[in-house]
């Protein structure tokens, strides 16, 4: 066998040390959902969320919360 070291450095596994990942202790439990909608509505949704500077799911959550408050729920 060849006893010479390899000419390249071995990459480190980022998942090797599980304590390196920190999860906030106060993170609330969240449910995953799926929604279907017209393509044109989804396109408008994506544009609006980018303009507002939030991810699509956060934009939807804000919109639903506002509507529920308006309707008294």
| Residue 45 lies in domain | 36-73
pLDDT digits (tens, 9 = 90+) for 46-72: 999 999 999 999 999 999 999 999 999
Asked if residue 31 is part of any domain, the answer here is no
Asked if residue 19 is part of any domain, the answer here is no
pLDDT digits (tens, 9 = 90+) for 19-55: 655 666 777 788 888 989 999 999 999 999 999 999 9
Asked if residue 49 is part of any domain, the answer here is yes
Instruction: Provide the domain count of the chain.
Output: 1
Task: Retrieve residue 66's tokens.
Answer: 């506002």
Asked if residue 50 is part of any domain, the answer here is yes
Nearest by Cα to 60 from 38, 45, 44, 40: 45
Asked if residue 51 is part of any domain, the answer here is yes
Asked if residue 47 is part of any domain, the answer here is yes
How far is it, in rounded angstroms, from Cα 50 to Cα 18?
Answer: 33
Asked if residue 23 is part of any domain, the answer here is no
């Amino acid at each position: 066998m060849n006893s010479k070291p390899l000419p390249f450095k071995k990459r480190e596994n980022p998942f090797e040390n599980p304590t390196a990942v920190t999860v906030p202790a106060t993170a609330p439990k969240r449910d995953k959902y799926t929604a279907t909608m017209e393509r044109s509505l989804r396109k408008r949704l994506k544009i609006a969320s980018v303009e507002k500077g939030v991810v699509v799911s956060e934009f939807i959550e804000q919109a639903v919360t506002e509507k529920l408050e308006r309707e008294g729920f």
